[in-house]
Amino acid sequence: MKRTLIILLRNPLSLLGVLLVLMVIVLAVFADFIAPFPDHKGAVVDFVYFNQAPSDRNLMGTDLVGRDLFSRIIYAYRISLMLGVVVLVISVPIGVLAGLFAGYRGGKTEFVLMRLTDVFLSIPPLVLAIAMMGVLEPTLLNAMLAVTAMWWPWYARLVYNVARSEREEGYVLAAEVIGASQWHICFREILPNCLPAVITKMTLDMGFVIIIASSLSFLGLGVQPPTPDLGSMVAEGARYLPDSWWLTVFPGLAILVAVFGFNLIGDALREILGAEQ
């Protein structure tokens, strides 16, 4: 653990990733103190300063009703991070459990669970979320639900593959021979072997959830105004290209920066944890 951290901080690229992610987290957590115009996160109108290019007053310009874009991006990070964390906290345990049982138990459990994940995995990720949002009301909570529903099968598949190969390993047979319970074998013997892969995937997925969630709101199927969201900000601004370029460029870059940070860390983790195995 400590060694992993040291390697992470020593490599310039993963260090950049850590710094970017820390920046995003700090911005999101302390938004109330950092944002120059904290009240602009809501339905505020300031027609004196509407549609302004970036300036000393508004670092990233203002939107069509005069709200400070920088402040809104900071608050949008809050929503993105929360969405990412909630989705992973719910979907990872579900997926891991499903994969673990399917992989270890085999037989009917395996067939049913894996065909179920096949079904979920054969709908392109975004399309499933779009379809779910289509029948649900577009709210933050439902967006979380929709993304969670499309996310767990990936973890089920990942853990299933590891569990299935570990099932044949000597140490699992040894544990069975000395009469260890299935519970013990699943959680104490097999699960620890899946963790590096799961942790790596979670880091990369933080970025991916942010992408999917912003895509939903870009299509108008996610978080609704006036709540600030990076995806809907880009969608709104896209109509005013190229003159009001800041309306799309800054929210777009904000997504890029956050996701890039998580991906840099995830990549480094994959190399470190992968090499340790």
Partner 1 sequence: MSAVVQLLLRRLGISLIVLVGVSMLVFGIARIIPGDPARIALGPNATVEQIAKLRSSMHLDESIVVQYGHFIKDLSRGDLGMSLYTNRPVTLDIAEFLPATLELVIVAGLLMIGIGLPLGRWSARYRGRLADHVIRLVSLLGVSAPSFVWAVILMLLFAFFLPLFPIAGRISDTYTIERVTGFLLVDTLWAGNFQAFSNALWHIVLPAFALALSGIGQAARLTRANMIETYDKPYIEMAQAYGFSGRRIANRFAFKPSLIPSLTIIGLDFAAMLGNAFLVEAVFAWPGLSRYGVAVILRKDLNAIIGTVLIISATFLLVNLIVDLLIAFLNPRIRHSQRQTS
Residue ranges in contact with partner 1 by CB under 8 A: 13, 115-116, 118-128, 130-137, 207, 211-212, 214-215, 218-221, 231, 234-235, 238, 241-242, 245, 248-249, 252-253, 255-256, 259-260, 263-264, 267
Q: How far is the CB of 187 from partner 1 (least distance, A)?
A: 29
Instruction: Output 90 or 126, the one with its CB closest to partner 1.
Output: 126
Instruction: Output 49 or 260, the one with its CB closest to partner 1.
Output: 260
Q: How far is the CB of 69 from partner 1 (least distance, A)?
A: 15
Q: How far is the CB of 128 from partner 1 (least distance, A)?
A: 8
Q: How far is the CB of 136 from partner 1 (least distance, A)?
A: 8
Instruction: Output 172 or 264, the one with its CB closest to partner 1.
Output: 264
Query: Position 241: which residue type?
Result: L
> What is the C-alpha radius of gyration for the chain, rounded to an integer number of angstroms?
22
Instruction: Output 18 or 264, the one with its CB closest to partner 1.
Output: 264
Instruction: Output 83 or 175, the one with its CB closest to partner 1.
Output: 83
Query: DSSP string of the chain?
Result: -HHHHHHHHHSHHHHHHHHHHHHHHHHHHTHHHH-SSGGGGSS---GGGTTPPS-SSSTT-B-TTS-BHHHHHHHHHHHHHHHHHHHHHHHHHHHHHHHHHHHHH-HHHHHHHHHHHHHHHTS-HHHHHHHHHHHS---HHHHHHHHHHHHHHHHHHHHHHHHHHHHTSHHHHHHHHTT--HHHIIIIIIHHHHHHHHHHHHHHHHHHHHHHHHHHHHTTSSSPTTS--HHHHHHHHHTTTTTTTHHHHHHHHHHHHHHHHHHHHHHHHHHHHHHH-
Q: How far is the CB of 75 from partner 1 (least distance, A)?
A: 19
Instruction: Output 86 or 221, the one with its CB closest to partner 1.
Output: 221
Q: How far is the CB of 269 from partner 1 (least distance, A)?
A: 14
